[in-house]
Amino acid sequence: MPDSLKSKLKLRHLGIDTYKEAVIYMREDCHVCRAEGFEVHTRVQLTLNGRTLDATLNLLRSSLLEQGEAGLSEYAWESLGAQDGNEIQVSHAPPVHSLSYVRAKIYGNSLGKEQFDNIIMDVAAERYSDIHISSFLTACAGGRLTEEEITYLTGAMVDSGEKLNWDKEQVVDKHCVGGLPGNRTTPIVVSIVTAHGLTMPKTSSRAITSPAGTADTMEVLAPVNLDVPMIRKVVEKENGCVVWGGAISLSPADDRLIRVEKALDLDSEGQLVASVLSKKIAAGSSHVLIDMPVGPTAKVRSMDMAEMLSRYLEQTGTAMGIAVRVHISDGTQPVGRGMGPALEARDLMAVLKNNHDAPQDLRNRALDLAGHILEFSPNVKNGQGRMLAMDILDSGKAWKKFQAICAAQGGLRDIPKARYTHIIQADRAGRVTKIDNRRIARIAKLAGAPADKVAGVDLHTPIGTKIEKGQPIFTVHAKSPGELNYALSYLEGQGGIIKIQVS
């Protein structure tokens, strides 16, 4: 066979971000397409640097690529460690046998452990396109997973990635189902429960759609990009940590399912349970507290739903050999005052340091959660956890512990302040009756959060506050005058973000 028929193409960097879907871009008149009979949407197997990856084919009808060249989506580019000029081999993707189990599920059959293992292995290995994942999620939604199947799915997801082992009898953890803006309880909770001697190696995420994630906020105060050996050192020394989880590949199949679930806006109870618990089990936790805010704009909207989910979470936890406790909380209001990494860090530091002006809602939530977690300990009786948590916080032990954890992670940092701020004043006297969290969050993002740590919005008047005309209601913080103006120009003409009712 002549060289022109070999299925190799020279890579050119196109830099197209498809959000974790592997795509290869080839010319419509490409010799490999013709020889292999590829068409748009064909699933192909890419081989480069000894690695293989399945991808979806998109064809190019322009001169972005020369004859003999191919491009990759960023996800495929990074997964294969590609470089400009590399020769990539492209062939038909081998058939994905586990798709027949998905079809069996569609036809109403129950699946066994081996079948879930195979499906999740193929999802983790990127052998499923988004279309296949969507079909799998749909087939499992609507209460179509038995309790046994949820346990198999959870186990398969744990096995799809790394697993941590702490050599401790008890490792505690917490997870919040559908977060609330500004709800940065995690560093406070970790400080309290580790000060009491429990082990809590906490990995957190960065912001996806919000002005700050827990990892972004914590990074204001200490380094969070720690690898597994570094995390182990911190936890051995201080019983706990608050680090970014991105460096560890826990339940990677779950990340792929979540990306499609978000696009579908489909909350499948079985999937949610498997998603939450698989990450905790893979992280080596033995006792997990689930914080479940319930409210009309929260992820869980009714008490019925909350109770059903709690039952599934606790039962699956038992089947997987871990203790799970669910704390149902109020999900109707934001928590704290700042939005943006530095402002949220300031709030949680105020709570840890017992400052008189610390946001009480943040303090109370942290105490609730820490109290529940403390009760996992054999030496803390049920009903006594919260009092104990308050003792630890009020005595300064939690603050001391937090400083020690930050030191172990690389050193406590001073909170930076924005050089440019702009105060928004009330245009009338009255009482604050409503705050539009979505638009407030957008202003914080336009001002530069979370990339600029100092950027964000500081709320001065929580719901219920009585105010005078001209009184500051919130302040926009930014790193540069340009960013500040950018956020303020959006603000122009946007009425009613903070609703003031004239009394």
| Known catalytic membership, residue 267 | yes
Say if residues 374 and 172 touch (Cβ distance below 8 Å): no
Q: Which is nearer to a second copy, 3 or 169 (CB)?
A: 3
Q: Which is nearer to a second copy, 84 or 167 (CB)?
A: 84
Nearest distance, CB of residue 39 and a second copy, angstroms: 7
284 vs 137: CA distance, rounded Å? 26
Query: What torsion, rounded to 10 degrees, do the Cα atoms 275, 278, 283, 286 define?
Result: 120
Task: State how far Cα 463 lies from the chain centre.
Answer: 28
SS3 414: coil
What are the angstrom distances between the C-alpha of 236 and each of 215, 233, 239, 432? 21, 5, 6, 47
Nearest distance, CB of residue 266 and a second copy, angstroms: 7
Q: Which is nearer to a second copy, 312 or 376 (CB)?
A: 312
364 vs 366: CA distance, rounded Å? 5
Nearest distance, CB of residue 98 and a second copy, angstroms: 13
At a CB cut-off of 8 Å and minimum separation 6, what does 64 contact? 14, 25, 71
The DSSP call for residue 3 is: G
Q: What single string gives the DSSP state of each residue in 322-378?
A: -EEEEEEEE-SS--SSEESHHHHHHHHHHHHTT-TTS-HHHHHHHHHHHHHHHTTST
126 vs 132: CA distance, rounded Å? 11
Q: Which is nearer to a second copy, 414 or 492 (CB)?
A: 492
Q: Which is nearer to a second copy, 43 or 365 (CB)?
A: 43
Residue tagged 């960013």 (tokens): 483
Nearest distance, CB of residue 425 and a second copy, angstroms: 21
Q: Which is nearer to a second copy, 319 or 488 (CB)?
A: 488
- 208 phi/psi in degrees, rounded to 5: -105, -55
Q: Which is nearer to a second copy, 5 or 303 (CB)?
A: 5
Nearest distance, CB of residue 106 and a second copy, angstroms: 4
Edge-to-edge strand ranges of the sheet holding 323-330:
172-176, 287-294, 323-330
Nearest distance, CB of residue 18 and a second copy, angstroms: 5
22 vs 73: CA distance, rounded Å? 6
Say if residues 447 and 475 touch (Cβ distance below 8 Å): no
Q: Which is nearer to a second copy, 159 or 216 (CB)?
A: 216
Q: Where does this chain bind a second copy (CB under 8 A)?
A: 1-2, 5, 13-19, 25, 28, 34-35, 37, 39-41, 58-64, 74, 99, 103, 106-108, 129-132, 134-135, 137-139, 141-143, 208-209, 259-260, 262-266, 442, 445-446, 486, 489-490, 492-493
State how beta strands 43-48 and 51-60 pair: antiparallel
Active-site hit among 130, 255, 267, 391: 267
Task: State how far Cα 162 lies from the chain centre.
Answer: 17
Surface-to-core class of residue 172, CB atoms within 10 Å of its CB (0-12 exposed, 13-18 middle, 19+ buried): buried
102 vs 135: CA distance, rounded Å? 8
Nearest distance, CB of residue 333 and a second copy, angstroms: 22
Nearest distance, CB of residue 119 and a second copy, angstroms: 14
Residue tagged 């869980």 (tokens): 300
Nearest distance, CB of residue 155 and a second copy, angstroms: 24
User: Measured on CA atoms in the order 217, 222, 225, 229, is the torsion positive or negative?
Assistant: negative
The DSSP call for residue 413 is: -
Q: Which is nearer to a second copy, 72 or 388 (CB)?
A: 72
Say if residues 315 and 149 touch (Cβ distance below 8 Å): no
Q: Which is nearer to a second copy, 84 or 169 (CB)?
A: 84
Q: HSE (CB half, 13 Å, CA atoms) of 284?
A: 20
Nearest distance, CB of residue 61 and a second copy, angstroms: 4
Question: Active-site residues: which are they?
Answer: 267
